[in-house]
Amino acid sequence: MAGLKSKDLLGLRELSAEEIELILDTAEALREIATRPIKKVPTLKGRSYVTLFYENSTRTAKSFELACKYLGADVVNVSVGTSSVKKGETLRDTVMNLEAMGVDAIIIRHPCGGAPHLAAQFVRCSIINAGDGIHEHPTQGLLDMLTIRRHKGGFRGLKVAILGDILHSRVARSNIHGLTKMGAEVWVAGPSTMLPPGLEDLGVRVTTRVEEALEGADVVNVLRIQLERMQQSLFPSVREYHRFWGLTPERLRLAKPDALLMHPGPMNRGVEISSDVADGDQSVIHEQVTNGVAVRMAVLYLLANRGEAA
Amino acid sequence: MILIKNGRLLDPESGVDQVADLLVQEGRIAAIGTGLAAPEGARVIDATGKVVAPGFIDIHVHLRVPGQEYKEDMRTGTAAAVRGGFVGVVCMPNTDPVIDNAAVVDHVIHLAQKEGLCHVWPAGAITQGLKGELLSEMGEMKAAGAVCVTDDGRPVPSAGLMRQAMIYARQFDLTVMDHAEDKSISAGGAMHYGKVSSMLGIRGIPSTSEEVHVARDILLALETGARVHIQHVSSRRTVELIRWGKRMGAPVTCEATPHHFTLTDQVVAEMNYSTFTKMNPPIREEADRQAILEGIADGTIDLIATDHAPHHLDEKLIEYQDAAFGITGLETSVGLVVDRLLRPGIISLPQMILMMSTRPARAVGLTPPALRVGAPADITILDLERTWTVRAEEMASKSKNSPFIGWTLTGAPYATIVGGQLRMLEMKVIAP
Active site residues of B: 307
What is the predicted pLDDT for the residue at A87? Answer: 62
CA dist B268 → B183, B272, B273 (Å)? 22, 6, 5
The answer to whether B381 and B415 have CB atoms below 8 angstroms apart is yes
What is the predicted pLDDT for the residue at A226? Answer: 86
- Dihedral over alpha carbons B147, B150, B153, B156 (to 10 degrees): 170
Q: Which residues pair with A273 in a beta bridge?
A: A247, A269
What are the start-end ranges of the E strands in B213-336? 228-230, 252-256, 303-304
pLDDT tens track for B68-94: 999 999 999 999 999 999 999 999 999
Confidence of residue A227 (pLDDT cuts 50, 70, 90): confident
What is the predicted pLDDT for the residue at A88? Answer: 80
Task: Give the pLDDT mean for A32-57.
Answer: 93
Q: Could you give phi then psi for residue B5, rounded to 5 degrees? A: -100, 130
What is the predicted pLDDT for the residue at A82? Answer: 59
B276 touching chain A per CB within 8 A: no
- Nearest Cα neighbor of A111 from B267, B190, B202 is B202
What is the predicted pLDDT for the residue at A233? Answer: 84
Taking the C-alpha atoms of residue B103 and residue B390, their distance in angstroms, rounded to an integer, is 38
Q: Strand A159-163 vs strand A185-189: parallel, antiparallel, or unpaired? A: parallel
Task: Give the pLDDT mean for B388-393.
Answer: 98
Q: How far is CA A221 from the centre of its chain?
A: 12
Nearest to A197 among B193, B272, B314 (CB): B193
What is the predicted pLDDT for the residue at A229? Answer: 78
CA dist B185 → B190, B203, B220 (Å)? 12, 12, 20
Q: Which residue of B has its CA nearest to A133?
A: B201
DSSP string, A74-105: EEEEEEGGGSGGGGT--HHHHHHHHHHTT-SE
B-chain residues within 8 Å CB-CB of A201?
195
- 3-class DSSP state for residue A185? strand
What is the predicted pLDDT for the residue at A310? Answer: 42
Nearest to A114 among B194, B204, B319 (CB): B319
For chain B, how many residues are written? 432
Residue A9 is classified by DSSP as B
Reply yes or no on whether the pLDDT at A308 is more than 70: no
Confidence of residue B307 (pLDDT cuts 50, 70, 90): very high
What is the predicted pLDDT for the residue at B38? Answer: 94
Nearest to A136 among B196, B201, B317 (CB): B201
**A278/chain B closest Cα distance in angstroms:** 28
B195 touching chain A per CB within 8 A: yes
DSSP string, B143-206: HHT--EEE-TTS----HHHHHHHHHHHHHTT-EEEE----HHHHTT--EESSHHHHHHT--EE-
pLDDT tens track for B352-384: 999 999 999 999 999 999 999 999 999 999 999
B183 touching chain A per CB within 8 A: no
Task: Give the pLDDT mean for A73-90.
Answer: 80
Residue of B191, B196, B200, B203 to mutate, interface with A, max A Cβ within 10 Å: B200
Contact flag A136-B317 (C-beta cutoff 8 Å): no
- 3-class DSSP state for residue B101? coil
Q: Provide, rounded to the nearest whole percent, the portion of chain A with pLDDT above 90.
A: 87
**In sequence order, what are the residues at sequence separation of 6 or more whose Cβ sits closer than 8 angstroms to the Cβ of residue A98?**
A50, A52, A78, A106, A123
Nearest to A113 among B193, B318, B320 (CB): B320
Q: Which residue of B has its CA nearest to A200?
A: B195
Q: What is the mean pLDDT of chain B?
A: 98
pLDDT tens track for B40-55: 999 999 999 999 999 9
pLDDT tens track for A82-113: 566 666 889 999 999 999 999 999 999 999 99
Q: Exposed/middle/buried for A111, CB within 10 Å: 0-12, 13-18, 19+?
A: middle
A-chain residues within 8 Å CB-CB of B195?
197-199, 201-202
What is the predicted pLDDT for the residue at A83? Answer: 64
How many pairs of residues across A and B have Cβ atoms under 8 Å apart?
A: 70
Task: Give the pLDDT mean for B396-424.
Answer: 98
Task: Give the pLDDT mean for B169-175.
Answer: 98
What is the predicted pLDDT for the residue at A309? Answer: 42
Contact flag A198-B200 (C-beta cutoff 8 Å): no
Q: Which residue of B has its CA nearest to A167?
A: B198
Confidence of residue B340 (pLDDT cuts 50, 70, 90): very high
Q: Strand B2-11 vs strand B16-25: parallel, antiparallel, or unpaired? A: antiparallel
A39 versus A11: which is more confidently predicted? Answer: A11
| pTM across the whole model | 0.95
Confidence of residue A1 (pLDDT cuts 50, 70, 90): low
What is the predicted pLDDT for the residue at A86? Answer: 63
Contact flag B201-A132 (C-beta cutoff 8 Å): yes
What is the predicted pLDDT for the residue at A80? Answer: 78
Q: Which residue of B has its CA nearest to A120?
A: B272
Q: What is the mean pLDDT of chain A?
A: 94
What is the predicted pLDDT for the residue at A38? Answer: 92
Q: Exposed/middle/buried for A48, CB within 10 Å: 0-12, 13-18, 19+?
A: middle
B207 touching chain A per CB within 8 A: no
